[in-house]
Structure 1
Amino acid sequence: MAFTGVATYYGARVSQDQLDQSIEDSEREARSQATQVSFWFEGQGTENLVLHVMNRSPDPVGASQMRFQLRIFSADESEPDTMASAQIILDPLPPCSLQTIEPGQLRTRSADGERAKLPRRIMYVTDRYFAFRDRNGRGWGRLDDRLVSMKALAKYEPVHNKVAVELVGTPKRISAPECGDNAK
């Protein structure tokens, strides 16, 4: 009887280990494309700020948007700097591509639809993330240092004054340096 109990215990442990491994494999597969999507800003200030978005997977990435906070210097030193939340809706990212958005391609849009260049007094960009849907329609958010599910991304939503920022023209697009399963 003791032997049967021990055998049953170890049989249950093996089954649990197999289930855990299966769940881990499933999660890894679900994240496989999302881990190959990244973004970064280059430069500081309005004139030098360049946004790069890269999809190193062999599948397109859909429904994407970039959200970030802009710290804008006050023109008058007696007033505090301001923070504004910006969002850019992007076209789907083709497979194995790197898109570059130059500062001159970004415009603010007022409530009455007027377009204007970004304020010249932008100091830097912070609290940024790139939200997108993978080939299976699952939502993801790429932060500076990690990948999170769309559900977890809600807590990173910018809270400052909203500024509508739109892309004017088409981003420069080239092939990603590495693509597919070989991309690190």
Structure 2
Amino acid sequence: MMSFSNETHRKIEQFAKEQAQHYLEEAEMTYLEKLRARTNQTKHKIGRKLARFKSSSDQAQEARNDMILYMSDYMNDLISQGLSEEEAFEKARDKLAASGDSDFQADLHERFRQYYENRDPADYEAVGLFYGGFLFLGVAIGSLIGFLTSGGVPAFMQNGWIYTLVGTGVGAIIGIGLGEISHALISMKRK
């Protein structure tokens, strides 16, 4: 992959950020149209999740990254054909804008449409529950082990609180780690 100037790289990232949002919004509308057939309870639940999803999610970052990759590849092709970096950027920006009609756009639209078609909110809810459950379990077990190994109530006020604190921290880390494993398993199940 050809290396671009910092200014062009910044322009590509800004363009990708703006355009990815357009692709996400169009895919979201298709998804919401399909949700109208479901119950009101599910519809409201998805609406709340989509509001949080808009610009800060992994999918939004993935959309930006895809846009950067498409744009960089296309610009490299244009530069190899003799265009300057600035000319290549302008041409790629015009061709990849969400309001246009190119093969790149069709591919991105299809990817986002498939994402929303296959998106199951129960997966995201399960991930959150696993994280929370494992975190609480890890903190509780770690605190208890730290407390008991420090000597219990009599030793707690001297140095026992340090063992309890260390046990709590280790338990939290273990809980988050188990949450990440469950997140990975759910993600692999979706693919």
Same fold flag (TM > 0.5): no
Q: Kindly indicate which of the two structures has a greater share of residues assigned to strand.
A: 1
Query: Which of structures 1 and 2 has the bigger CA Rg?
Result: 2
TM-score w.r.t. length of structure 1? 0.26
Q: Kindly indicate which of the two structures has a greater share of residues assigned to helix.
A: 2
